[in-house]
Each structure stands twice: as C-alpha cells, then as structure tokens.
Structure 1
Amino acid sequence: MAASEFAEWVRHFETERDRRAAGPDPSWESGARLAPAVQASIRRFQLGEDGDGADLIAKADAAGDPHYAAAVRLFEDEEHNHARLLARLLEAGGATTLTGHWSDTVFGRLRRSAGLRAELLLLMVAEVVALRYYRALRDGTDDPLTSEVARRILADEERHVPFHCARLRTSIAELPRGARRPLLAGWRLLLLGAGLVVAADHGRALRRLGVGRGRFVVDVTRSAGPVVAAILGTHPPRVPGEAAEPAAAAPPALSRRR
C-alpha cells in the first residue's frame, strides 16, 4: 500500500485521538453492576488489551514506511486506552485487574517470535474475536456503564480490522500466488480455534450476555470471509459483522457496510 494511504490512516487516528481527548470519560462515579462471570471475563480481556506493543512498533519501524509506523503507534495508543477503560470499569464494579494469565503469556510469546506479517495475522485473530465479544458485552449487559465502555471499545475495534487488512493486503500480495490462499486458510483455522477457546473459557459470561457458546463460535468464524476478501483484494477493506455506529471521519475507501 502506498505511503500516502497510510498517511490518511494517521490523520484518521489523530482525529479520533483528538475527539476522544475533547470528550468526557464515562461516568465512573455511577458504579458498575458486574455479574461474577462477566467480571471474570472482563478481567481477562483487560489483561489482553494491556500489552505494551513495543515489538509491533519495532517491526513497523523496520518496514520502512514512516506513515505506517506512525499509524501503528496511534493504534497502540487506542489499545492502551481500552485497557484503561476496562480497568476503570472493573474498579467501578469493585474488582481488580489481573497480573497475568497463561493465554496472554502464550499469545504474547507467539507474537514476539513472529515477523510483521505473521504478527498481524495473529493480531487479527484477536481483533476479530474481540469484535464479537465487545458487541455481546455492549448489547447483552443490563449495566449502563458496562455498555458504554463496550460501545467505545467496539467503535475502535471496528476501525482496527480494516487498518490491519490494509497492511496485510500488501504483505500477502508479496507472496507467490499459490501460497496466499493456503496461508489464509490456515488463518481461518486459527481463528476457529481461538473462537472455540474463548467460547469455552468465557462461556458463563457469554450466556449471561445472551450469546451461547455455539452462536459465538459461528459468528466469529463467519467474520473470516470479509477479512480474507479484504486481504486478497477481492473486496475493499471493511468491518466484518455488525457495525456499532456510523464511521466517524473514516477514510472513504474503508466506509462500513451494515
């Protein structure tokens, strides 16, 4: 992808950063009513959002496109804000954050050992799963503060998927034609595996939010089609699944479809 197109992403991320800074935080003082299963689930997702992103930033720098590197830094800033929002939500509900979990450790090691292309593919697994999870949290909770936090995070995640698709589209195109679809078929299997793991580990919370384990896995795997099409260039980069709200200042080529 041309550097000028990632410059557009930089402008978009900066617009979102400025909008976020100008607006108020959620009303933490109202408190949060978190069912035990949902609270435990949020603690796990908060830990996953709380990585430092240093390895991805270093790989983006090494890729040689300063606009892309700048956009990755802004993306990581949004991820850190997600961790902050979830930590404040847990605090409002009388809970603490986790200091570690085996799944986060394994995922972090895999990402650090990978090159940029492989790390982005792994990251896209997490992002697509997160789309369905935060939609469930937004729509299934009866707690207004939880719903508001989930809505804010989901709006960001829906932009992150086409952002990573944009970079992967160029990266996958560098591979021999015969290797592209097998690689993405493997990615689909990895996404299915991740969906199954999350459904098993967070099943009680998902049921509390009105989403059964099977429905969660089906929705996650169905999201793979638009992602693969965007990466292969057979469909413009777009958000898989349901959009939370209209795109705010989104790049024209990445406008959402319901």
Structure 2
Amino acid sequence: MPDPQTFARWTAEFEAKATARTRTGDPDWSLGATLPPALVRSIQRFQVGESGDGANLMSKADAAGDPTYAAAVRLFIAEEQNHARLLRHLLAAAGHPTISRHWTDAIFVHLRRALGLRLELMVLSVAEVIAVPYYRALRDGTPDPLTTRTAALILADEQRHIPFHTHRLRTACTTTPYPLRPLIRAVWWTILCGALLVVLLDHAPALRQLGVTRTEFARAACAHFAPVCATALPLRRSRTGFPTARRLPATG
C-alpha cells in the first residue's frame, strides 16, 4: 500500500520549492538572450513537451485513490508548466516564438496515455532521464547567461522529479509477479532506447552546438535510468522501504 506520510513529504517539498521560486523570482528577461538557430529549434521542441495541461495524469492520480499523492502530482504538473513558461520567456528574450506542436511530442503523449497510471509514469520517467542531460548540456554548453540560468532552474526540478516518479512506480509495482519483471524491464528499456534515438536524431545540431556527443548524451541518460528501473522493479524481494529523493543519484 502507498505510504501517505512519504507522499506528504513530497508535497511539502514541492510546496517549499514553489515558495522559493516566488521569493527569488524569474531571471532578468530584459537582459535578452542570444540563441543559435539550432538551439532555437531544439528549445522550441522541448517547450512544447513541457507545456501540457496534465489533465490525463491528474485524472489517473485521482483514480488511484491516494489524495496525498494526487496533491503531489498537481504540484509536479505546476512545475512542468513553469518550465514551459521559462522556456517561452527565454525564446522571447532571444526574439523567437514558441511552436504549437511537434510530431515527437505527439507520439510521446499518445504513448503515455495509452494505458493506466503505471505506463504513464514509466514513459514520464523516460522523459525525465532524457531531460536531465539535455538541460545540463544547455546549462553548461552555452556562453549566454540567461540561457544558463534558465536551464539551471529547470535542471534542479527535473532531478527531483526522477525519484518522485520512481517512488510511485515502486509502490505501484509491488504486486507485479517477479517472473514478469525482467520482461517489463526489457520493454521499459526499449522505450528508453526508442526515445533516445528520436532525441539524438532530432536534436543532433543542438547537441553539437552544446559540445555534447551523441554517445555522451546516451550514456548520461542510461546512467540515470538504470537505478530508476532497478529501484522501481527489483528482481528480488527486499525488506528496504520505498525510495526517496535522497536514495537515488542526482548529479549537478
């Protein structure tokens, strides 16, 4: 069964971060930004992915019957929407618009909405472990101060999202028969590899601009994904408790 106290801690953490964001405020958009065309196209596509309303996820979280978790999900969605807002302002500071849709986001949305909460979180976790090396590359690979600051703010959130989803997945998978777990893991890794292939092809010019090779990017994403998979779907029974934000690695 879910541990409401642990999800209450997640809710408190999300609320604390929201308070901190209000206190510190946005980057100074009036400084303007300089973005090469490859980065503009890449950021526009990530901005579309961050801009969903989260209604489908909220509905599934409500149906799961844990109001504490559902409250945490709403705060998570608010952070994702804030990422979309930050990226929109960054593009505007560089004199570029957002885009309304992109085929990669459409595929992602259809996949995660296909079944229940568990599949949605599995696909979301794939997106998070890809987002972490992307925003780290954006933070470290550009000389533009406004881009660096915006990417750093988003990266800090994305690193917390990984253990949040992992915790819920560990809870949801407790009844999964152990003989099925290697197969589910294999499917999950296949989803990651497919998503990585799309990103590496679609964002290749931006990654080159940021000084990150495809191999480096793929290795970083896999390094974040491996403990998520192992924690959410352990192959043997364990007496340890549920994972928390401090039990999964999150490098800066």
Q: Which residue in 1 is equivalent to 2:47? A: 46
**Paired AA for residue 139 in structure 1:** D
Gaps of 5+ in 2: none
Deviations 1:18-65 (A, max 9, x none): 111111210100000101101110000000000010000000000000
Call closer, same or farther: CA 1:256–1:205 in 2, change over 3 Å.
Answer: closer
Within the alignment, does 1:196 sit opposite 2:209 as a pair? no
Deviations 1:149-189 (A, max 9, x none): 00000000000000000000011121111112221221112
Q: Normalized against structure 2, the TM-score is what?
A: 0.92
Gaps of 5+ in 1: 239-250
Percent identity of equivalent pairs: 52
Aligned residue for 1:113, secondary structure, equals coil
Q: Which residue in 2 is equivalent to 1:245? A: none
Task: Tell me the number of residue pairs that the alignment of Structure 1 and Structure 2 aligns.
Answer: 246
Call closer, same or farther: CA 1:199–1:60 in 2, change over 3 Å.
Answer: same
Call closer, same or farther: CA 1:256–1:47 in 2, change over 3 Å.
Answer: closer
**Paired AA for residue 148 in structure 1:** R
CA contact (8 A) 2:140 2:148 kept: yes
Call closer, same or farther: CA 1:254–1:196 in 2, change over 3 Å.
Answer: closer
Using the alignment, how far apart are the partners of 1:257 and 1:104 within structure 2? 26
Q: Normalized against structure 1, the TM-score is what?
A: 0.90
CA contact (8 A) 2:39 2:209 kept: yes
Deviations 1:62-107 (A, max 9, x none): 0000100000000000000000000000000000000111111121
Q: Which moved more, 1:228-237 or 1:82-91?
A: 228-237
Q: Which residue in 2 is equivalent to 1:32? A: 33
Call closer, same or farther: CA 1:14–1:139 in 2, change over 3 Å.
Answer: same
Call closer, same or farther: CA 1:221–1:256 in 2, change over 3 Å.
Answer: closer
**Paired AA for residue 215 in structure 2:** G
Using the alignment, how far apart are the partners of 2:248 and 2:15 within structure 1? 16
State the Cα distance separating 1:113 from its structure 2 match. 2.2
Using the alignment, how far apart are the partners of 2:249 and 2:127 within structure 1? 22
Within the alignment, does 1:220 sit opposite 2:249 as a pair? no
**What is the RMSD of the two structures over their aligned residues, measured on CA atoms?**
1.8
